[in-house]
Chain A
Amino acid sequence: DQQVKQNSPSLSVQEGRISILNCDYTNSMFDYFLWYKKYPAEGPTFLISISSIKDKNEDGRFTVFLNKSAKHLSLHIVPSQPGDSAVYFCAASEDGGATNKLIFGTGTLLAVQP
């Protein structure tokens, strides 16, 4: 049973436009959410996170929104750049964001077209 779901395997966006990546979860005990970015032939790297006590966290061009009632989070990238082309994994954890309980989604491949 997939507790963290990314229903869009891929997304294509024009450079300069907004990219919106979505993630749904089923476990209401999750209290910390993260996005990781992965380039080919590299390991995932941390991008941005949000605690369940917030509904928005912003870091430069990246903003994560959390809707607890819908059990949904999204990552907005504005403006999108070709260098943002990568696989994006959302992840969720409980117990104060314990990394041993981190559950990953299946990933969304973002392609930003020049």
Chain B
Amino acid sequence: EAQVTQNPRYLITVTGKKLTVTCSQNMNHEYMSWYRQDPGLGLRQIYYSMNVEVTDKGDVPEGYKVSRKEKRNFPLILESPSPNQTSLYFCASSGTGSNEKLFFGSGTQLSVL
């Protein structure tokens, strides 16, 4: 089954404790990205990657890091989480042709205390 898998689904942590949210896709997609969803703000792009070893900032990259060492994986790293990073996070992937559509993971609800 074609899917984007994120882990964990839920995460509660404390300020400053480094964490990683994993994302993996099995569709051989070149493009992967991370979004956060906040009330009244919709989905905002954090980082994206057009292919292996190619990453770029989205609209809200501050406080986040990503890496793309393999085509299928695109982890999101919070080196020193803060309460304003409490949010619902989604990983997504797609091909890189015209008029592609994004496939999303099920989401990771993160709470930073």
| Chain A residues with a Cβ under 8 A of chain B | 4, 6, 9, 32, 34, 36, 41-46, 49, 51, 89, 91, 96-100, 102, 104-107
B81, CB-defined interface residue at 8 Å: no
Residues 42-99 of B at the A interface (beta carbon under 8 Å): 42-45, 48, 50, 56, 90, 92, 94, 96, 98-99
Taking CB atoms, residues of chain A closer than 8 Å to B35 are 104
- Cross-chain contact of B94 among A4, A6, A36, A99 (Cβ < 8 A): A99
Taking CB atoms, residues of chain A closer than 8 Å to B107 are 41-43
B101 touches A46 (CB 8 A): yes
Q: Count B-side interface residues using an 8 Å CB cutoff.
A: 27
A106 touches B99 (CB 8 A): no
| Chain B residues with a Cβ under 8 A of chain A | 4, 31, 33, 35, 40-45, 48, 50, 56, 90, 92, 94, 96, 98-107
B101 touches A107 (CB 8 A): no
Taking CB atoms, residues of chain B closer than 8 Å to A6 are 42
- Cross-chain contact of B101 among A43, A49, A51 (Cβ < 8 A): A49
- Measured in the bound complex, the distance between the Cα atoms of B41 and A32 in whole Å is 21
- Measured in the bound complex, the distance between the Cα atoms of B44 and A89 in whole Å is 12
- Measured in the bound complex, the distance between the Cα atoms of B44 and A97 in whole Å is 17
